[in-house]
Structure 1
Amino acid sequence: RLKRMLNIDISNERLSELVIKLWDSIKTADFWKISETETSIIQENYMLFSRCKIELNKPSKDLKYLEIQLNDNYQYLLNNLGMGQYTSFNLLEFQRVRGKYAKTLYRLLKQYKSTGILSVEWSQFRELLDIPKDYKMENIDQKVLTPSIKELQKIYPFEHLSYKKERKSHDKRKVTHIDFYFEQLPEGENKKQKQAD
């Protein structure tokens, strides 16, 4: 069943290896929920998964059973998907994203797929991506932004992903915000629907 769901034609032993690799890639996946009040910006972090159980046949090591448990704190968010409030993303697509900064940026951008624009205050961006405090701007460009943009440009709707740093008018060296731009994807629409238009 899993092979049918994933739409792949591989041996059962190879499928077992793939499932373990998939779990290694997604087990640390988390979700940032950002909300604002008149006086505060509130950032909440949820770990998506709490455990994984994989049962293999002996001695063939063919996959017999797979159970991935969602974190209880996250289930209410999952129940609200499709209501425009929270992000959803394809786990197989997410698993193919390389690099921790690219993965975090992917999750942030997916929350804005219907607008195609993400604007974040610079210090908040550094915090969300967990960029080391000692990284200077050139380090962030070389080690965070350039490789992440290159990685995400392999994925629809980020093929034309770009960014712009907003600076203070009186001090051009000081970055205040970073804006990301990508192709807008109307609510509920996927790549095939977009190509058919």
Structure 2
Amino acid sequence: IKTMIMVKSNLTNRQLLQVLKNLLDNISGANFWIIREHVENGEVYEDHTSYMLFKQFEIRIHKPTQTIEYLDVQLNDSYQYLLNNLGMGGQYTSFNLLEFQRVRGKYAKTLYRLLKQYKSTGILSVEWSQFRELLDIPKDYEMRNIDQKVLTPSLKELHKIYPFEHLSYKKERKSHDKRKVTHIDFYFEQLPKGENK
């Protein structure tokens, strides 16, 4: 387990248990939203569904020796296809779970997942209303709230991670109304082809 999660081999079993619990606490928040548009009786609807990726974590410890016997992480059955498609030419994004668990803050974590989908281009452009929905930004947040509580802390957090050290963004505005933001564009270092970090 120590090798798998890349921690120091001289950790005591108690310390390793605490590292595992912290890791599991962090990845338990790896939930996501899927937005689907559909037409019913000539009317257009948009369904917003939240998915919890993991259903159970179990750590078995041999009590007399305090040795961790095994770690069991169970994915919700409905979403096993997500992992089955990772790294095998599938349509889903893979990312380093250990890197992800070090990201602090729900907005930074969501932005991390979004940006990783565009690692080959280094550019993410999102319609402003969709960006607010994807990050689940409260409706009463004004632009200054979003800058202070969402964008600034998220970028500060993501600047610690390659390829986001120079992550920047630009808000696109309507030509006739400069106060109205229509899109937000994120720019970061494009990963070389074939590099899967």
Counterpart of 2:93 in structure 1 is 87
Residue correspondence of structure 1 range 89-128 to structure 2 within 5 A: 89-128=95-134
Which ranges in structure 2 are unaligned for 5 or more consecutive residues? 39-43
Counterpart of 1:3 in structure 2 is 2
Tell me how many residue pairs correspond in the alignment: 189
8 Å Cα contact 1:47-1:74 kept in structure 2: no
Distance in 2, Cα, partners of 1:16 & 1:85: 34
1:53 to 50, 55, 58: 58
Identical pairs, percent: 72
- The alignment's TM-score, normalised by the length of structure 2, stands at 0.87
Distance in 2, Cα, partners of 1:187 & 1:43: 33
Distance in 2, Cα, partners of 1:162 & 1:168: 20
1:190 Cα deviation after fit: 4.3
1:41 Cα deviation after fit: 7.8
Assess, with a 3 A threshold, how the Cα gap between structure 1 residues 103 and 187 changes in structure 2: closer, same or farther: same
Residue correspondence of structure 1 range 10-89 to structure 2 within 5 A: 10-32=11-33, 45-58=50-63, 61-82=66-87, 83=89, 85-89=91-95
Provide the aligned C-alpha RMSD in A. Answer: 2.2
Distance in 1, Cα, partners of 2:174 & 2:128: 12
* Residue deviations 1:54-100 (CA, integer Å, cap 9, x gap): 11222554422210001112211221223151111111111100111
* Structure 1 runs of 4+ with >3 Å offset: 31-37, 39-46, 59-62
Instruction: Report the 3-state secondary structure (helix = DSSP H, G, I; strand = E; otherwise coil) of the residue aligned with 2:156.
Output: helix
Distance in 2, Cα, partners of 1:133 & 1:43: 15
Instruction: Report the 3-state secondary structure (helix = DSSP H, G, I; strand = E; otherwise coil) of the residue aligned with 1:6.
Output: coil
8 Å Cα contact 1:54-1:63 kept in structure 2: yes
The answer to which structure has the higher helix fraction is: 1
1:36 Cα deviation after fit: 8.1
Which ranges in structure 1 are unaligned for 5 or more consecutive residues? 192-197
State whether structure 2 residue 159 is matched by structure 1 residue 153.
yes
